[in-house]
Amino acid sequence: MPEYLAPGVFIEEVSYRAKSIEGVSTTTTGFIGPTRYGPTDVEPDIVTSLVEYERVYGDRQPLEFGDPAVPMDNFMWHAARAFFENGGKRLYVQRTFNPGAASGFASAPIGVGSDGLVVRSRFPGRAGTRRVRITLALGPNVLALEPVPGAPGTTRNVVRGLQDRDVVWISQAAPVPPAPRTGEFYLATSAAGPAGLEWTFGNDDAVPPALGLGDLAADVDPAVSAQVRVVTATVTVMPTEDDGLTQVWGALALDPGHRSFGSPDSLLYQFDPTPDNIAWRRSIPIVIAAATDPSDIGDGLELLRVLLGRTAAGVLTGASPTALEDALRALGTAVEQRSTALLLDGGDDGDRPTASEYEGNPASIDDKSGLKAFEDLEDISIVAAPGSTFGYEDDYRADAATIIQLLISHAERMRYRIAVLDSGDLQDISQVRAMRARLDSKHAAIYYPWVRVLDPVSQQEIHLPPSGFVAGIFARNDVERAVYKAPANEVVTLALGFERTLNKAQQEVLNPEGVNCLRFFEGRGNRLWGARTISSDPEWKYVNLRRYFAYLERSIDVGTQWAVFEPNGPSLWANVRRTISDFLLNEFMTGAFVGDKPEKSYFVKCDRSTMTQNDLDNGRLVCHVGVAVVKPAEFVIFRIGQWTADAKN
């Protein structure tokens, strides 16, 4: 409580209204499965377009598991495309990868043995093939003369823009200009001295091994002045495809301990295998590291020797070839080209992921994989594993069935999610019924059959799992109508047809068993024609009912966190009742409930009738909320008969 200890006017802010609850999003989706590229153990970032998907997870090309002669359609790319085309806006993607017998990384060495470097793709996969160019550059001369304060007519050497642990090329003036300059590479270090920073330039292989700033013959005439030029690296990563994205990182320091404005900025830091910046772990496509032990690269001079020692690549730019030849001769290097050019090759898509990769490994909080990675993302409402049921009636049956159970278990454990399940490819009605008979959950729905589309890669018609299309339809339905409206009787965008053309009699067999069908209707196109869960509990028969309750529960969960640790008395109970009642009144006004009046549509109780003294003694506030949610008109029945014109009703 405020204290009033001295006379005066006190202004206090108080609230006379109930807290408000904002409805949560119901359209954010999570897809899990194999992709051509991308992270496997980094928390996924949200993707809002197919272009963003391709930037992180690779393109549309098929995946080559085991036998390159038998590629598998890139179901995840097709699912992402279908999701966005059907109205989806926000997507999380979790990649699964099974390395098999190979590491899966595309790589290339620089140098030989333990003294060298390795450049490799950050993520495994054939799409990790890249062209990499590392160019060393000499900056402008940073050595200058300035007057000594308080001593007219005298000057002193200074360096402008030099930073601690910069690698520099120092050259003295030629004896007889225009003879070529000669020079050597040094590591610049600074320390505080009586007159400011004192610079030392060291190199164990040079003669002399160390220089001070006063040892350099600076002059106002650039032609005769000594030069101190900073050596930096520029890394260019180029795709092997014509339509890929080229990325460039410039002005990178060579010394691993180099810092700029307190932050590391060296070449090895930028391309570290496990950077602290999680965005770098997702977006930087390559890794540059010591071939064996990171301590093998002690300082920037050692890194420079490795870069210059690879067939004389990595030549410095910005000076004459003769001067560079003289400067590099001390390192035993001949000038042949201006940069180190590498082709990262040998990437492999591994083997087809099994149920273990889908389940994931919570090795640590920051390195979860599989479905475990989705557990930390609270805003996901829909989960699916596109392509995981491919081969269900073949040799992948055990894994596919296990992945379905993992999806269901995940959705049930996370409470506010629904799993969109795919039927198997090439299944007939008896097979999909047998598949459905093994499942029972109010947090999942299954869809049949697969969708026929035109493959933009092969320009041939292929069949795709329906989950990507359905998840997009869920999102479109929620935005254009409402989450309480059944996501059915909706057009399936991109669909040319379906793997099987179902008629009404066939759906009459499947619909009561909770298998949602996709059907073609003459004059109305290809439509999603079912909205049931796979629950045996009739209370949770419909997908929209399950999803709407998840929306209500999570909205109330998030919107009432303020009540925790408040004094548990009538004032709090009344505030909670008002907060939830105001939220439900808004839902009533949008048409989510059956009753014609609020009191017939919902109730909120939070008082001594809902709590015992034991509840109060144990810090429990118990609130009962009941709602009468509208259900879909699944069967529209018109009873028509003859009527006599003069008959009385």
Per-residue pLDDT reduced to its tens digit, 147-156: 887 778 788 8
pLDDT at 321 over 60: no
Q: Is residue 550 part of a domain?
A: no
Do 132 and 260 lie in one domain? The reply is: yes
Q: What is the DSSP string of 94-145?
A: EE--B-TTS----EEEESSGGGSEEEEESS-SGGG-EEEEEEEEEEEE-EEE
Q: Is residue 622 part of a domain?
A: yes
Mean pLDDT of 361-371: 75
b/e map 177-210, b = 16+ CB within 10 Å = eeebbebbbbbbbbeeeeeeeebebebeebeeee
Kindly report the pTM of this predicted structure.
0.88
| Lowest mean pLDDT segment, chosen from 357-366, 464-473, 514-523, 553-562 | 357-366
Do 89 and 129 lie in one domain? The reply is: no
Residue 181 pLDDT class (50, 70, 90 cuts): low
Do 37 and 166 lie in one domain? The reply is: no
SS (H, E, C) 160-180: CCCCCCCEEEEEECCCCCCCC
Do 355 and 340 lie in one domain? The reply is: no
Do 416 and 534 lie in one domain? The reply is: yes
Do 385 and 337 lie in one domain? The reply is: no
Do 529 and 603 lie in one domain? The reply is: no
Mean pLDDT of 261-272: 92
What is the C-alpha separation between 255 and 265, in angstroms, rounded?
Answer: 9
Higher pLDDT, 367 or 528: 528
| Lowest mean pLDDT segment, chosen from 91-95, 139-143, 182-186, 537-541 | 182-186
Answer with the one of 344, 371, 404 that is the final residue of a domain: 344
* Token pair belonging to 115: 């003294």
b/e map 534-571, b = 16+ CB within 10 Å = bbeeeebbbbbbbbbbbbbebbbeebbeebeeeebeee
Mean pLDDT of 170-183: 67
Q: Which residues pair with 440 in a beta bridge?
A: none
Please say whether the beta carbons of 507 and 568 come within 8 A. no
Question: What is the total count of domains within the chain?
Answer: 3
pLDDT of residue 176: 59
pLDDT of residue 481: 93
Phi and psi torsions of 447, nearest 5°: -130, 140
Do 324 and 237 lie in one domain? The reply is: yes
* Token pair belonging to 94: 């979790």
pLDDT of residue 10: 86
Do 186 and 282 lie in one domain? The reply is: yes
Do 149 and 264 lie in one domain? The reply is: yes
Answer with the one of 300, 315, 344 that is the final residue of a domain: 344
Answer with the one of 307, 327, 344 that is the final residue of a domain: 344
Please say whether the beta carbons of 587 and 49 come within 8 A. no
* Residue 414 exposure: Cα atoms within 13 Å on the Cβ side: 28
pLDDT at 66 over 80: no
What is the C-alpha separation between 148 and 523, in angstroms, rounded?
Answer: 91
pLDDT of residue 114: 58
What's the pLDDT tens digit per position in 326-344?
444 443 333 334 577 889 9
* Domain ranges, residue 589: 570-649
Mean pLDDT of 208-224: 85
Secondary structure letter of residue 62 according to DSSP: P
Mean pLDDT of 183-204: 87
* Average pLDDT in the chain: 88
Three-class SS state of 83: helix
Q: Is residue 565 part of a domain?
A: no
Residue 243 pLDDT class (50, 70, 90 cuts): low
Amino acid letter, 350: G
CA 479 to chain centre: 24
Residue with tokens 């965005």: 279
Q: Is residue 514 part of a domain?
A: yes
What is the C-alpha separation between 89 and 78, in angstroms, rounded?
Answer: 15
Q: Is residue 3 part of a domain?
A: no
Which residues are within 8 A (CB) of 426 and not within 5 positions of it... i.e. 6 or more apart?
Answer: 393, 499
Residue 385 pLDDT class (50, 70, 90 cuts): very high
What's the pLDDT tens digit per position in 78-136?
999 999 999 999 999 999 999 887 778 999 988 765 568 899 999 999 999 999 999 88
Size (the chain), residues: 649
Q: Is residue 18 part of a domain?
A: no
Question: Any idea what the CATH number is for the domain that residue 82 is in?
Answer: 3.40.50.11780
Longest dimension (CA), the chain: 126
Do 57 and 117 lie in one domain? The reply is: no
pLDDT of residue 517: 97
Q: Is residue 15 part of a domain?
A: no
Q: Is residue 7 part of a domain?
A: no
Do 539 and 611 lie in one domain? The reply is: no
Three-class SS state of 77: helix
